[in-house]
Structures are given as structure tokens and as C-alpha cells.
Amino acid sequence: MTVATYHFPFVLFIVTTLTLTSMPVHAATEPPAVGTPAPDFSLMTNAGTQASLMDYRGKWVILYFYPKDFTSGCTLQARNFQRDLAKYEQVNAVILGVSVDSAESHKDFCAKEGLNFTLLSDPEARVSAEYGSVMEYNGAKLSARNTFIIDPEGKIARVFTGVQPSGHSEEVLSTLASLQKH
């Protein structure tokens, strides 16, 4: 056997891995449409309690899905929501972040980043799927970076898909201000 024969499986593994990690990720289903009732849920929070969408009836809800705690884009997005938290509170809005990470991971992420809003654990990606916000990455299901503004009556008021973390909080605040004028 030649040296090349021994290296072929390794080279094949590297090429396959690079191909899979560079493939685009896609959402499994479509997000709920504007004007339709937002799918209700009950998920474990970073504080170790259950929270449902019904708990926030009468408030504007910024429900954002993100792939993973402690990653650069997700951290930037969370920090920006935290930076603007007082602005959201002034307009009767709450921030809820959702990912497939555990409630314990969310607790640690909130502690490390000083986050004072609720993160929800969706380990089976069930709620993420209901919101058309599931993607696959290296064979694992993750929450896709989408955001929903839900009005005080529980209806979808605005959908943001394929969100870019930088500047997103400002975009949401601007859209929320416009929605509240009508």
C-alpha cells in the first residue's frame, strides 16, 4: 500500500467536513404570517421557571430566536437587546430569547453577559419549528436567527428572517414605534 492510500480516508473526511460546514442552512418550515395568532408555548426559562406566551398578554413581545449561547453573533445580539432594554420597557415591550440551549446554559449566559431579560430553552426545537425558525448545522437542530414582534392581543405584527445581529435591536425598536402609531 502506498502512503496516499492511508491518507485518502483522512482527506475524504476533511473535504466532506468542509463541504458540509460551508453548505447553507435553511429553515424547516415557514414562519407564521403577519396578522395570525402567534403560536403559544410553555418553555423553561433561564430562572428555572415555566413561561408561556399567554403570560405576556397585554404587552408587546419581541420573540427572538438565535442559534447558540456564548457565540459571537448571538452574544452581540443579546448585548444590543440588553443595551436597549429600558427603551423596550418604556413602550410596554418585553424581550424573550429562544434557543435550543438548556435553561442552565441560558442562566450562565445571562450571568456572564449581564442580561436582564428572559431566555427560553427549546431543547427539542419544537417551538422554533412552530415559528419556522429551525435550521440544521452539522446534523444538529438549532434555532434560526429570526425575530417576531407580537402585539398585545397575541398576533404576529412583524416578522424578521435571517437577522443580522448588528443593528437589529435598533431595527426592531424603529419597527415597534411605527406599529404602535397605527
CATH of the domain at 97: 3.40.30.10
Residue 14, in any domain of the structure: no
Which structural domain, as residue segments, surrounds residue 132? Answer: 26-181
Residue 4 has pLDDT above 90, yes or no: no
Q: What is the mean pLDDT of residues 94-121?
A: 97
Q: Structural domain tally of the chain?
A: 1
Residue 21, in any domain of the structure: no
Predicted pLDDT of residue 79? 97
Residue 162, in any domain of the structure: yes
Residue 23 has pLDDT above 60, yes or no: no
Asked if 121 and 106 count as a contact pair (C-beta separation under 8 A), the reply is: yes
Q: Percentage of the chain with pLDDT > 70?
A: 85
- From CA 41, how far away is CA 43, in angstroms rounded? 6
Question: Annotated catalytic sites, by residue?
Answer: 74
Q: What is the mean pLDDT of residues 67-92?
A: 96
Residue 71, in any domain of the structure: yes
- pTM of the entire structure? 0.83
